[in-house]
A and B are shown apart, each in its own frame.
Chain A
């Protein structure tokens, strides 16, 4: 049963570490995307935040997944700045609230947590789908994950579908005219460029798929 596939505390830490490494690796790419339609700092700011995050994770006192997500969220709010700090910070704080006190979660819990995280991003960012933001990646990914779970897919299969949907969502931001954030100042000139926030959100989901490709679910193949 897909819903019972356990994602352990260690899996969650592995996800965050994998994403931090991915952000570091893609720092210049994210910044380059941002220089086309923003202010050339997305990769730099996300990297500063996640370097602070990975410094804090080993010091956590217990194996509470919710507490780990909350630490990630608070650290991002306190170190990233810009819009990404509050947006990603809120995302992880909401994940933390949804998984408070848990040492392991299933796919259904992950979907519920993502629901809460995405709702938090929508609430403070006030963006709609199609505004050329991180939501254009997160919403289709969450929906794909939910559909996959409903059809009985394994965690790995469901994540693979979510990553594919995220990638499509990310690429679909290219022709869009931005309606939120700094890219919106460009008006029509923002079309033709991939959104940096949608790109980092894709990397976030891909990091989960990569980190859990064999670790969770008990079987590597």
Chain B
């Protein structure tokens, strides 16, 4: 294992201390490991929190700030946070207008957020939860835990955060989050595995000439392993199931999000985007907004995911609204 760490057991704690040192104007860290907006709670505002395992940076801690999340709960690497964290976050951001939990669809995240929501309600805080499950690589059936929450989560946090910032109430904010979920689809692939610091060795092995299609964001293996193909073919393999699933139709306008898994250079992400743009054009789908970079990662994994969100005026307006967080900043 070759990593810039001091002690695997302390990696997340030291990361959070570094974030506080770097972005103290935007965030602060409170016990037990909650990244909190500097000026939370904001009077009258619905609180928006999320959380999940660490290792997906900048998600979620990097999205705490004006116009996005009020708090984020980072668990151990690839391990959902514990209810104590979500309870502390919920209490810290609650200004009396209620709190929205944005939860990615993983068994552990669902259970821990549910426990926290129950505890918060018992303390008189109004909590709504929306589950993001946008990964078309997973069959949504009785025989799986359901689709994973992946790239769509970042878009939901931005859009929902903007609505909350604008003063929308809890019911409206939750409905908007569900609207994002209903209109977003993603799929990812890996060129390499990644190494959880405390595990010390890669989660899975991929040969020099192999790739894994349909991966999530936890270094878990995907659905199929294949011979490595050119970027254009890989882009087709990811885009086609996404487009056919919703389905996205001719005349639609989308936000096209090409995400890096952590170890892939922007050069390659733009090569993917180039092909994606051609595919969308061929289907008569317009790119209303584009988003390219490492925004929801899997440590140092090389690979990419594609996320498409069907836009309307409301979603576009909240996407464009000002945001000021450690990882996203525009309009300010």
Complex CA distance for A84 and B112, rounded to whole angstroms: 10
A-B contact count (CB 8 A): 108
Q: B199 near A83 (CB under 8 angstroms)?
A: no
Partner of B145, one of A39, A87, A184: A184
Contacts of A83 in B (CB 8 A): 80, 106-108, 111
Partner of A81, one of B108, B137, B148, B219: B108
Q: Separation in Å of the B198 CB from the closest CB of chain A?
A: 5
B146: nearest residue on chain A (CB-CB)?
Answer: A184
Contacts of B139 in A (CB 8 A): 187
Interface string of B129-165 (1 = CB under 8 A from A): 0000000011100111100100000000000000000
Complex CA distance for A177 and B139, rounded to whole angstroms: 14
- A81-B81, A81-B108, A189-B223 are contacts. A45–B76 as well, Cβ < 8 Å? yes
Q: B106 near A41 (CB under 8 angstroms)?
A: no
- Residue A71, interface by CB 8 Å: no
Complex CA distance for A31 and B112, rounded to whole angstroms: 21
Q: How large is the interface on A (under 10, 10 to 19, 20 to 34, 35 or more residues)?
A: 20 to 34
Q: Separation in Å of the A120 CB from the closest CB of chain B?
A: 12
Interface string of A52-85 (1 = CB under 8 A from B): 0000000000000000000000000111111111
Complex CA distance for A80 and B81, rounded to whole angstroms: 8
Q: B82 near A39 (CB under 8 angstroms)?
A: no
Q: A82 near B80 (CB under 8 angstroms)?
A: yes
Q: B82 near A41 (CB under 8 angstroms)?
A: no
Q: Separation in Å of the B324 CB from the closest CB of chain A?
A: 30
- Residue A124, interface by CB 8 Å: yes
Q: B199 near A35 (CB under 8 angstroms)?
A: yes
Q: Separation in Å of the A46 CB from the closest CB of chain B?
A: 11
Complex CA distance for A31 and B204, rounded to whole angstroms: 12
Q: B220 near A39 (CB under 8 angstroms)?
A: yes
Partner of A185, one of B84, B111, B138, B219: B138
Q: B112 near A86 (CB under 8 angstroms)?
A: yes
Residue among B83, B139, B148 facing the most chain A CB atoms (10 A cut-off): B83
Q: A185 near B223 (CB under 8 angstroms)?
A: yes
- Residue A101, interface by CB 8 Å: no
- Residue A196, interface by CB 8 Å: no
Complex CA distance for A185 and B145, rounded to whole angstroms: 7
Complex CA distance for A118 and B79, rounded to whole angstroms: 23
Contacts of A181 in B (CB 8 A): 107, 145
Complex CA distance for A35 and B203, rounded to whole angstroms: 5
Interface string of B98-123 (1 = CB under 8 A from A): 00000000111001100100000000
- Residue A24, interface by CB 8 Å: no
Complex CA distance for A124 and B84, rounded to whole angstroms: 18
Contacts of B75 in A (CB 8 A): 81-82
Complex CA distance for A79 and B53, rounded to whole angstroms: 13
Complex CA distance for A31 and B77, rounded to whole angstroms: 13
Q: Separation in Å of the A203 CB from the closest CB of chain B?
A: 19
Contacts of B106 in A (CB 8 A): 83, 182
Complex CA distance for A138 and B75, rounded to whole angstroms: 28
Q: A39 near B78 (CB under 8 angstroms)?
A: yes
Query: Restricting to B180-221, which residues have a CB under 8 Å from any CB of A?
Result: 196, 198-199, 203-204, 216, 218-221
Contacts of B108 in A (CB 8 A): 81-86
Contacts of B107 in A (CB 8 A): 83, 125, 180-182
Q: B112 near A41 (CB under 8 angstroms)?
A: no
Complex CA distance for A31 and B197, rounded to whole angstroms: 13
B217: nearest residue on chain A (CB-CB)?
Answer: A39
Q: A182 near B145 (CB under 8 angstroms)?
A: yes
Q: Separation in Å of the B251 CB from the closest CB of chain A?
A: 33
- A182-B218, A185-B145 are contacts. A77–B203 as well, Cβ < 8 Å? no
Complex CA distance for A177 and B221, rounded to whole angstroms: 15
Complex CA distance for A41 and B203, rounded to whole angstroms: 9
Q: B112 near A179 (CB under 8 angstroms)?
A: no
Q: A39 near B203 (CB under 8 angstroms)?
A: yes
Q: B221 near A79 (CB under 8 angstroms)?
A: no
Q: B199 near A40 (CB under 8 angstroms)?
A: yes
- A81-B112, A185-B223 are contacts. A41–B143 as well, Cβ < 8 Å? no
Q: Separation in Å of the B153 CB from the closest CB of chain A?
A: 16
A to B CB contacts below 8 Å, 9 in the list: A38-B220, A39-B78, A39-B220, A40-B196, A41-B77, A41-B79, A45-B79, A78-B83, A79-B82
Residues of A within 8 A of B (CB): 31, 35-41, 44-45, 48, 77-87, 124-125, 177, 179-182, 184-187, 189
Q: Which 9 A-B pairs have the closest CB atoms?
A: A82-B108, A86-B111, A83-B108, A184-B144, A39-B218, A81-B79, A83-B107, A40-B203, A82-B79
